Amino acid sequence: MRIKQTFDNLKQKQQTAFVAYLCAGDPSYETSLQTMINMPKLGVDIIEVGMPFSDPSGDGPIIEMASKRAIASGMTMQKTLNLVADFRKQNQTTPIVLMTYFNPLLKFGIDKAFTAIKQAGIDGILIVDLPPEEEQEIMQFLPTAQLDLIRLVAPTTSSQRAELILQNASGFVYLISLMGITGTKDADPARNIDTLQQLKKITNLPIVVGFGIKTAKQAQAFSKIGADGIVIGSAIVEKMAENNIQEINNFITEIANHINYATKISES
């Protein structure tokens, strides 16, 4: 599995994973594809591809607007999977996580969806609004699709609840760094130390932190407190909206350099 291999390799180097998010089809199919192809070359370890959705519950206004732009331009679930398949023609090694809500899967047809997801070359799926009490809806499809089930844990989640959420999780755990939605507040590393330590007692899976991490310095700070990975989402999406490939590339490079700054210095 590409996700496990990536984290195993990074652990050997004592490095933190850089997980970069983009909304499929925003601002265009072509720009999304070119950005995906560029990301691993610039230091991204895992790419999280967001399925455009009209009624998000976890995404803030930045990603919500990206979804609206993508949908308005004709982006669909099938085109999102086509995007990943086109990326796989260029790159067979970088893990891809599909971030979606349950409704698009239902509309597509769950059985058909997971077959298509596997064919596209996706490694993990994060379904924002699927609680553990309802996850049996998809569990039978995961082994055949060879998909990791990425689960979200909130800062308010009790240890008992976290154990339930993570009972079928694989790949990595996505720790939400703050209360609220994406892109609206700044994450505070100090407030996540205890949660990270508690989660490490519950699971052996890598713990990736996201929501509210917008700058290279923030990413570096989360790396220093022991996060196994950092997700940068809204900050990238903001730059994607400007459709300036060079500016996107510069920002991603800056984040990648800061996340593992201490390791890079020791290796140089």
Task: Tell me whether residue 186 is one of the annotated catalytic residues.
Answer: no
Residue 268 included in any domain: no
Give me the pLDDT at residue 179, please.
Answer: 63
pLDDT band at 80 (very low <50, low <70, confident <90, very high): very high
In this structure, is residue 34 part of a structural domain? yes
Residue 264 has pLDDT above 80, yes or no: no
Q: 141 lies in a domain?
A: yes
Q: Above 70 in pLDDT, residue 182?
A: no
Query: Is 266 inside a domain boundary?
Result: no
- Is position 48 annotated as part of the catalytic site? yes
Q: Is the pLDDT of residue 170 over 60?
A: yes
Count of structural domains, the chain:
1
Does 66 map to a domain?
yes
DSSP annotation string for the chain? -HHHHHHHHHHHTT--EEEEEEETTSS-HHHHHHHHHHHHHHT--EEEEEPP-SS-SS--HHHHHHHHHHHHTT--HHHHHHHHHHHHTT-SSS-EEEEE-HHHHHHH-HHHHHHHHHHHT--EEEETT--GGGTHHHHTTHHHHT-EE-EEE-TT--HHHHHHHTTT--S-EEEE-SSS-TTSS---GGGGHHHHHHHHHH--S-EEEESS--SHHHHHHHHHTT-SEEEE-HHHHHHHHTT-HHHHHHHHHHHHHHHTHHHHHHH-
Determine the pLDDT at residue 181.
55
Residue 207 has pLDDT above 70, yes or no: yes
pLDDT over 70 (residue 265):
no
Say yes or no to pLDDT of 235 above 70.
yes
* Residue range of the domain that includes 188: 2-257
Domain membership flag for residue 193? yes
Tell me the average pLDDT across 23-43: 96
Q: Is residue 187's pLDDT more than 90? A: no
User: Which band of pLDDT confidence, cut at 50, 70 and 90, is reported for residue 147?
Assistant: very high
| pLDDT mean over 120-132 | 96
CATH number of 43's domain: 3.20.20.70
100 inside domain? yes
Q: Is a pLDDT exceeding 80 seen at residue 222?
A: yes
Residue 264 within any structural domain of the chain: no
The residue-averaged pLDDT of 215-238 equals 92
The more confident residue out of 152 and 185 is 152
Res. 267: pLDDT tops 50: no
Which of 8, 30, 45, 48 is flagged as catalytic? 48
Q: Out of 59, 64, 123, 228, which one is annotated catalytic?
A: 59
Specify the range with the lowest mean pLDDT, choosing from 28-32, 161-165, 174-178.
Answer: 174-178
Of the listed ranges 102-116, 123-137, 211-225, the one predicted with least confidence: 211-225
Question: Residues 172-186: what's their mean pLDDT?
Answer: 73
